[in-house]
Amino acid sequence: MADIQLERVRKMFGKVLAVADVSLHIKEGEFMVLLGPSGCGKTTLLRCLAGLERVDGGQVIIGGDDVTDHPPGKRGIGMVFQSYAVFPHMTVFDNIAFGLQMQRVSSAEIQRRVGEGAELLQIQQLLARYPAQLSGGQRQRVAVARAIVMRPRVLLMDEPLSNLDALLRLQMRGELKRLHHEVRSTTVYVTHDQVEALSLGDRIAVMKDGTIVQLDIPDRVYDLPATRFVGSFIGSPPMNFLEGTIRSSNGARALETAGVRLEFHGVPARGRDAVLIGIRPEHIAVERVPVAGGIPAGAIPAAVVVVEPIGPQKLLTVQVGPSTLKVTTPVDFAVDQGQRVWLRFDPSRIRLMDPQTGDAIAS
Amino acid sequence: MTTPGRKALLTVLVVLISAWVLFPIILIALASFTTRTQLYAWPRSLVPSPFSAETMRFFVQAQDVLQSLLNSLLVAAMTIVLAVLIGAPAGYALSRFRFGGKEVFRLGILGTKMFPATILAVPLAVSFINWNLYDTLLGVALVHTTLALPFAVVITTSVFVGVPFELEEAAMTLGCSRAQAFRKVAMPIALPGLAAAAIFTFVLSWNEVFAATILTLRNRTLPALVMNAVGLAGAPIDYRFAGGFFMIIPALIIIFVIRRYLLTLWGVTVR
């Protein structure tokens, strides 16, 4: 087990900057998720860490050792690939034992450690089989076992669940979390699935265009997105964004949108007047009448465009002026397409962004 | 066209094409197992009676046949070793790396097949005499290697394309060097495909008659010997039939035995 220090790591593919001087410190035993859309550089960053890509600049330090120029096999890493990369010409046992044999571990020790790894992944009964005789989920377990029997200082996973079907993915996600609690190895996990990131990560590094745009614990990444991109990438449905203005009257500054003055206490004391209001669907209350508890203030009129029952909730698509918002309501909320409703934003959940840069405005 | 009509047409075509290929082979095979006296009799039955190995025995015992059979096998063996040793690394490089001029290189390999070997006959013979390669088995094997290389490269390229690079990367993360990853992972998985390339090379060398004829005098390969006997010496028809059938045998073995084995191997290893 070891910590990881990435220092201004840069990787170019021809003229394309895939990883742009990324610095990141991953603590010992931490589960770090690299999250981002395809092409954001997260897999490339992981491969630089693994030594499968040669960096064009910067340093990779694992457990205090500068491994920047070390080949993958000399870095003390274990890696799980998206395609599993289980060797088809070897039995499950030989697959798991492969790395140990490369290290010339004694055969008694190999027997013991392969048995241990197989037990941890619950594949003891498959050891004599060939990969062609296994299901996708079982191959995935073999790939994970093969990596962890090496007792790597760092465990790297590249979208390990994305080739599994939805149900199996849910199950394996739980398994990986259990495994991390048992093994406690430093883990770097690449995914484009925000649910995986939120459920597995101790911390999440959200990436875009080869840089980390936000690095934080899952709750904060979800509740306090650093940029408009993070808010719209994480959450299903994602965060809503609509234009707002800050108006001064009688010396007090207040937030308005669609001509409605919102109840909001975090208005910055100075700065621009035009802002972007970010609010998650579950933090918008929907009402059929404009007046709640006799106070009409802060209710925004909206037209219902689409009504989608999605099991535990109803998902409404509503139109507020030029903006389209997604909001959720209880299933028993009776509403029809075309109906007029009133929206009330939870004041403590409103997040203001700069409309030009998309960066969050500190409040 | 209706489905039954299409099916009937397909059947007719299959039968016609098969007959076109098989009819001469069957005739040669039947004649090879007819006694020599019967071969010259008139009228004679198509099906040999009695069924006899006399004609084949005559051919095998004819002058130089066994020696040139051995020559053919030696040349083929050398050709296979050379073609795989040179072709497989080229195929690996084409399947794994991006490099400048890759497409030109790929086309150039096939382009060599467009160059008629006949034009090369005289300069090649002269060069081989100068290099003391004339009338040697190694000389023939070198020419056969040149002829087989384009196919060896093309086949091994597709074989290595079928072996995901991630497997080698996984091996590297488990402690292998680049070369070890190739030897322990890519190579074993590619083996059936490499065997196919080897068999293809064998067939090419076994059948090749032009270079073998012009570049040898005493150390003839089997096709060169048969060609010479039939064309210049006017060998009798029993020799011709038996020789013809003998030359087909490797192809038959490949079709009936090895091909099936290869296909099942591919079915398991290359998904």
Which of residues A181, A208, A233 is at a domain's end?
A233
Write the residue in B166, B175, B268 that is nearest to A103 by C-beta.
B175
Domain shared by A124 and A44, yes or no: yes
The shortest C-alpha distance from B153 to chain A (Å) reads 24
Write the residue in A73, A88, A156 that is nearest to B189 by C-beta.
A88
Split at pLDDT 50, 70, 90, the class of A291 is: low
Domain shared by A172 and A198, yes or no: yes
Answer yes or no: are the C-beta atoms of A18 and A11 closer than 8 Å.
Answer: yes
Write the residue in B167, B175, B269 that is nearest to A85 by C-beta.
B167
In sequence order, the 6+-apart residues with CB closer than 8 A to the CB of A149 are A96, A97, A99, A100, A113, A114, A116, A117
pLDDT in tens, chain B (271 residues): 567 889 999 999 999 999 998 998 888 888 888 887 777 777 767 777 777 888 888 888 888 888 888 999 999 999 999 999 999 999 999 999 888 888 898 888 888 878 777 888 888 889 999 999 888 899 999 999 998 998 889 888 888 988 999 999 999 999 999 999 999 999 999 988 888 888 889 988 998 888 888 888 888 888 888 888 887 777 788 888 888 888 888 878 877 776 666 665 444 444 3
Domain shared by A196 and A252, yes or no: no
Question: Residue B125: how many CB atoms within 10 A of its CB?
Answer: 17
Question: Residue B159: how many CB atoms within 10 A of its CB?
Answer: 25
Topology (CATH) of B64-235: MetI-like fold (1.10.3720)
* Measured distance CA(A127)–CA(A94) in Å, rounded: 8
Q: Look at phi and psi of residue A293 and say left if phi exceeds 0, alpha if psi is from -120 to 50, else beta.
A: left
Among all residues of chain A, which has the CA nearest to that of B165?
A85
Name chain B contacts of A99, Cβ cutoff 8 Å: 174-175
Contact B172 A73 (CB under 8 A): yes
Domain shared by A261 and A183, yes or no: no
Name chain B contacts of A16, Cβ cutoff 8 Å: none
Pick the residue of B96, B163, B167, B174 with the most A CBs within 10 A to test the interface with A by mutation.
B174
Cβ of residue A226 closer than 8 Å to a chain B Cβ? no
**What mean pLDDT is predicted for residues A309-319?**
91
Answer yes or no: are the C-beta atoms of A85 and A224 closer than 8 Å.
Answer: no
Indicate whether A97 belongs to any domain: yes
What b/e readout covers A160-191, taking b as 16+ CB neighbours within 10 angstroms? bbebbeeeebeebbebbeebbeeeebbbbbbb
Name chain A contacts of B185, Cβ cutoff 8 Å: 87, 89
pLDDT of residue A290: 66
Domain shared by A29 and A63, yes or no: yes
Contact A85 B170 (CB under 8 A): yes
In which residue are the tokens 């200082």 written? A153
pLDDT of residue A62: 94
Domain shared by A189 and A312, yes or no: no
Answer yes or no: are the C-beta atoms of A30 and A203 closer than 8 Å.
Answer: yes
Among all residues of chain B, which has the CA nearest to that of A49?
B173
Angle at A325 between CA A221 and CA A38, to 5 degrees: 50
Name chain A contacts of B271, Cβ cutoff 8 Å: 88, 132
Contact B175 A73 (CB under 8 A): yes
Strand partners, A308: A315
Compute the mean pLDDT over every residue in chain A, rounded to the nearest whole number: 90
pLDDT of residue A221: 94
Name chain A contacts of B268, Cβ cutoff 8 Å: 88, 130, 132
Name chain A contacts of B169, Cβ cutoff 8 Å: 52, 72, 79, 81, 85
Domain shared by A44 and A176, yes or no: yes
In sequence order, the 6+-apart residues with CB closer than 8 A to the CB of A118 are A92, A96, A124, A126, A127, A145
**What mean pLDDT is predicted for residues A32-48?**
94
Domain shared by A310 and A163, yes or no: no
The CATH code of the domain that includes A122 is 3.40.50.300
Indicate whether A363 belongs to any domain: no
Domain shared by A100 and A222, yes or no: yes
* Measured distance CA(B12)–CA(B8) in Å, rounded: 6
Contact B185 A79 (CB under 8 A): no
* Measured distance CA(B217)–CA(B114) in Å, rounded: 28
Indicate whether A167 belongs to any domain: yes
Which of residues A180, A205, A233 is at a domain's end?
A233
Among all residues of chain A, which has the CA nearest to that of B166?
A85
Indicate whether A33 belongs to any domain: yes
In this structure, of A86-90, A190-194, A249-253, B212-216, the range with the lowest mean pLDDT score is: A249-253
pLDDT of residue A265: 76
| pLDDT(A320) > 80 | yes
Indicate whether A361 belongs to any domain: no
In this structure, of A187-191, A328-332, B47-51, B210-214, the range with the lowest mean pLDDT score is: B47-51
Indicate whether A297 belongs to any domain: yes
In which residue are the tokens 């397909």 written? B10
Contact A83 B166 (CB under 8 A): yes
Write the residue in A77, A83, A89 that is nearest to B164 by C-beta.
A83
Question: How big is chain A, counted in residues?
Answer: 363
Q: For residue B95, give the nearest of B270, B265, B264 by alpha carbon.
A: B270
* Secondary structure tally for chain B: helices H, strands E: 14, 0
Complex-level ipTM beyond the 0.85 threshold: no
Domains of chain A: total: 2
Answer yes or no: are the C-beta atoms of A244 and A275 closer than 8 Å.
Answer: yes
Cβ of residue A78 closer than 8 Å to a chain B Cβ? yes
Domain shared by A90 and A160, yes or no: yes
Contact A102 B189 (CB under 8 A): no
Answer yes or no: are the C-beta atoms of A249 and A262 closer than 8 Å.
Answer: no
Indicate whether A265 belongs to any domain: yes
Domain shared by A219 and A266, yes or no: no
- The two structure tokens encoding residue B80: 């296979």
Quote the pTM value: 0.81
The shortest C-alpha distance from A47 to chain B (Å) reads 10
Pick the residue of A102, A113, A156, A158 with the most B CBs within 10 A to test the interface with B by mutation.
A102
Write the residue in A50, A81, A87 that is nearest to B185 by C-beta.
A87
The shortest C-alpha distance from B132 to chain A (Å) reads 46
- What interhelical angle do A136-148 and A166-183 show, nearest 10? 20
Contact B167 A99 (CB under 8 A): no
Q: For residue A11, give the nearest of A63, A46, A62 by alpha carbon.
A: A46
Tell me which residue range forms the domain holding A276.
Answer: 240-353
Which of residues A233, A248, A280 is at a domain's end?
A233
pLDDT of residue B263: 61
Chain pair A-B, CB pairs under 8 angstroms: 69
3-state secondary structure chain A: CCCEEEEEEEEEECCEEEEEEEEEEECCCCEEEEECCCCCCHHHHHHHHHCCCCCCEEEEEECCEECCCCCHHHCCEEEECCCCCCCCCCCHHHHHHHHHHHCCCCHHHHHHHHHHHHHHCCCHHHCCCCHHHCCHHHHHHHHHHHHHCCCCCEEEEECCCCCCCHHHHHHHHHHHHHHHHHHCCEEEEEECCHHHHHHHCCEEEEEECCEEEEEECHHHHHHCCCEHHHHHHCCCCCCEEEEEEEEEECCEEEEEECCEECCCCCCCCCCCCEEEEEECHHHEEEECCCCECCECCCCEEEEEEEEEECCCEEEEEEEECCEEEEEEEECCCCCCCCCEEEEEECHHHCEEECCCCCEECCC
Using alpha carbons, list the distances in angstroms from residue B189 to A80, A268, B70, B149, B161.
20, 64, 32, 21, 11
Indicate whether A190 belongs to any domain: yes
Cβ of residue A160 closer than 8 Å to a chain B Cβ? no
The CATH code of the domain that includes A256 is 2.40.50.140
Spell out the domain ranges in chain B: 64-235
Domain shared by A107 and A189, yes or no: yes
